[in-house]
Amino acid sequence: MAVPRQQPPVGDSGPGWHSLPPPTPAGTQQPDAREPADGEQSGYEAREHELGEHGPSPAGWAPLPPVPDTAAPGWAGGGWGPPSRSAPPPGTPDQHFPPQPYGPDPQSAQPYGPGAQSAQPYGPDPQSYGTDQQSYGPDPQSAGPGQRYGSQQPPPGQQFPADGRATEVAPPAESAVPRVAPPASAGYSDPLWSDGATPTAEDFARRRQARPADPVATMGVRAVVNKSTLGLVKLPPGRHEQEVKHDIEMVRRNFGGLRQVTVVNPKGGAGKTVAILLLAMTFGQKRGGYVLAWDNNETQGTLGMRAQQDFHSRTVRDMLRDLGQFQGAHGRVGDLSQYVRSQGEGMFDVLASDESATGGEMLTASAFAEIRDVVSRFYKLIFVDTGNNVRAQNWQAAMDATDQLVVTMSARNDSAETAARMLDHLEQSGRQRLVRQAVTVVSMPPSRKEIDLPAIQQHFAARTRAVLLAPYERLIDTGEPIRYGQLSSATRDAWLKIAAAVAEGL
């Protein structure tokens, strides 16, 4: 059972209790408070001098050591309380509280004066330190008679000024409360990320672009030696292998969009059809699909005859008739396969011209533009074979859409002269840039006797960007359909170099 706590009798004091005067009955007039005379101590100060700052200590308790003065600037007494103010000069009316020592500890003694049971300890609540407004008086809900809401009650031994108005206590200055910045995390500090030595994702990706060349040979006699020694000997690639790898990289690079390569020479038998097939085969083998060889002959062409046959024999005439199937968003790659011929291992398609000698009217410039608009939606690289009439509309339309011009000829003076006159015509029609960037391909005969090769090379080297020689190939000379796997290694290497020169201009 809990023992009820007994209150000491009024007027009696025990250990740890202050003697309090008996309460004054209601309606009794309080004696006028007066200021103590000079040299005279107030009753409270006299009592404090007699009992000490905190009164007599309870039995068994030792007096507490003095509290060091650690008050913040602008605060008085080293504890919680209003800011300290300097004493007014002599003769000035008292507008502030005179500096007085604080009374007994609120935690160990009863507050002094009437309404002590409901009064709050003097000074701001430590929990509300730093707020804009502080209340130093009694709680408005428990204010007694004659107390105004929001007024301040003086601590024991202090009184209001004579005019009866409480002086507003200013809150502490902003600079009085030091603000300490939170410590920065060592793992996420700014210097760590701004350091130039820290690698980035761009540095990680750039290392792949600067890969060193493979030092081990994979072609020719050097590759045989490397394999026969079981890796004990590692010979580097020779000059020929390095050139082949460079040409392949040039053919495989990204051109940034649709490109058209046009092969021209007004003379028949100059090797235009063979050049179209071998260029399309080389790009298809080394680069991949999306390559089209298109025979833009105004009458009867031979590209479809030299290419591999497919399950159908449709030509550009049939596609021109059914262009409505590909207008707008209509038409798919599967629909286009009904008009082009797949070349299997060549990795490209052929759009053949009309193979009938009694065919209808010639293709116009608008017809060429419509067909090109359709095939450009399905292919990235288009090789266009031209006819022998430079005045034909489809021939001129092909020149206007050309990105890279290839001039073919045999190593004969008549074939070279016809090509030279064609270049004159292109320059006169305002296509000088197309001529300067052109690539000249000279097809070699079985024997170099009685040919004027140096004169041909000198003339076209002065007018075009490059002059390259295509070796003689017996398979090509037979007139049969050409298969890439049946070509000699010398022919494949030569046309790879020609393809790299063409790709350089794209």
Question: Measuring CA to CA, which residue among 373, 375, 370, 433 is closest to residue 404?
Answer: 433
Selected residue with higher pLDDT from 406 and 71: 406
Residue 493, pLDDT > 90, answer: yes
pLDDT band at 66 (very low <50, low <70, confident <90, very high): low
Q: Answer whether 400's CB lies under 8 Å from 384's CB.
A: no
CA distances from 375 to 154, 275, 328, 399, 469 (A): 99, 21, 13, 17, 31
Cα separation, 77 vs 100, whole angstroms: 9
In this prediction, residue 336 carries a pLDDT of 87
Cα separation, 242 vs 247, whole angstroms: 9
Q: Which residue intervals of the chain bear CATH 3.40.50.300? A: 255-504
Contacts of 238 (CB under 8 A, 6+ apart): 217, 219, 220, 222
How confident is the model over 342-347, as a mean pLDDT?
Answer: 86
pLDDT band at 114 (very low <50, low <70, confident <90, very high): very low
Rank 97-106, 134-143, 208-217, 497-506 by mean pLDDT and report only the highest.
497-506
In this prediction, residue 356 carries a pLDDT of 72
Predicted confidence (pLDDT) per residue in 153-182, tens digit: 555 555 555 555 545 555 555 544 555 555
pLDDT band at 20 (very low <50, low <70, confident <90, very high): low
Q: Answer whether 500's CB lies under 8 Å from 251's CB.
A: yes
| Helices and strands: H and E segment counts in the chain | 16, 8
Residue 415, CB-side half-sphere exposure with 13 Å CA sphere: 22
Selected residue with higher pLDDT from 359 and 390: 390
Q: Answer whether 24's CB lies under 8 Å from 144's CB.
A: no
In this prediction, residue 465 carries a pLDDT of 96
Selected residue with higher pLDDT from 397 and 92: 397
How confident is the model over 320-334, as a mean pLDDT?
Answer: 80
In this prediction, residue 228 carries a pLDDT of 82
In this prediction, residue 78 carries a pLDDT of 46
The tokens describing 252, both together, are 């495989």
In this prediction, residue 427 carries a pLDDT of 95
Residue 79, pLDDT > 50, answer: no
How confident is the model over 240-260, as a mean pLDDT?
Answer: 91
- 342 beta partners: 349
In this structure, which long-range contacts are made by residues 334-343, counting pairs with CB atoms below 8 Å and at least 24 apart in sequence? 336/374, 336/375, 336/378, 338/312, 338/314, 339/314, 339/315, 340/292, 341/304, 341/307, 341/308, 341/309, 341/310, 341/312, 342/310, 343/280, 343/281, 343/284, 343/307, 343/308
Question: Measuring CA to CA, which residue among 376, 403, 366, 410 is closest to residue 262?
Answer: 403
Residue 50, pLDDT > 60, answer: no
CA distances from 11 to 20, 45, 156, 285, 293 (A): 6, 19, 18, 117, 123
Residue 192 phi, psi (nearest 5): -65, -40
**Percent of residues, the chain, with pLDDT higher than 90:** 31
How confident is the model over 200-212, as a mean pLDDT?
Answer: 75
Which residue stretches of 365-412 are H helix? Answer: 365-375, 393-400
In this prediction, residue 99 carries a pLDDT of 52
pLDDT band at 74 (very low <50, low <70, confident <90, very high): very low
In this prediction, residue 346 carries a pLDDT of 83
Compute the mean pLDDT over every residue in the chain, rounded to the nearest whole number: 74
Rank 21-35, 161-175, 342-356, 391-405 by mean pLDDT and report only the highest.
391-405
In this prediction, residue 426 carries a pLDDT of 95
Report strand pairing: 341-342 vs 349-351: antiparallel
Residue 191, pLDDT > 50, answer: no
Selected residue with higher pLDDT from 157 and 281: 281
pLDDT band at 399 (very low <50, low <70, confident <90, very high): very high
Q: Answer whether 380's CB lies under 8 Å from 258's CB.
A: yes
Q: Answer whether 340's CB lies under 8 Å from 292's CB.
A: yes
Place of tokens 């709680």: 139
In this prediction, residue 136 carries a pLDDT of 45
**Percent of residues, the chain, with pLDDT higher than 70:** 59
Which residue stretches of 34-73 are H helix? Answer: 43-51
Q: What is the pTM of this model?
A: 0.59
Under DSSP, the state recorded for 485 is G
Q: Where does residue 410 rank: exposed (0-12), middle (13-18), buried (19+ CB within 10 A)?
A: buried
pLDDT band at 232 (very low <50, low <70, confident <90, very high): confident
In this prediction, residue 206 carries a pLDDT of 79
Under DSSP, the state recorded for 215 is -
Cα separation, 150 vs 126, whole angstroms: 19
Pick the range with the lowest mean pLDDT from 206-215, 305-314, 393-402: 206-215
In this prediction, residue 2 carries a pLDDT of 53
The dihedral through the CA atoms of 225, 231, 232, 238 has a sign that is positive
How confident is the model over 473-495, as a mean pLDDT?
Answer: 90
Predicted confidence (pLDDT) per residue in 115-155, tens digit: 444 444 444 454 544 444 444 444 545 444 444 444 455 55
Length, in residues, of the chain: 506
In this prediction, residue 276 carries a pLDDT of 95
Q: Any idea which architecture 255-504 has in CATH?
A: 3-Layer(aba) Sandwich (3.40)
Residue 19, pLDDT > 90, answer: no
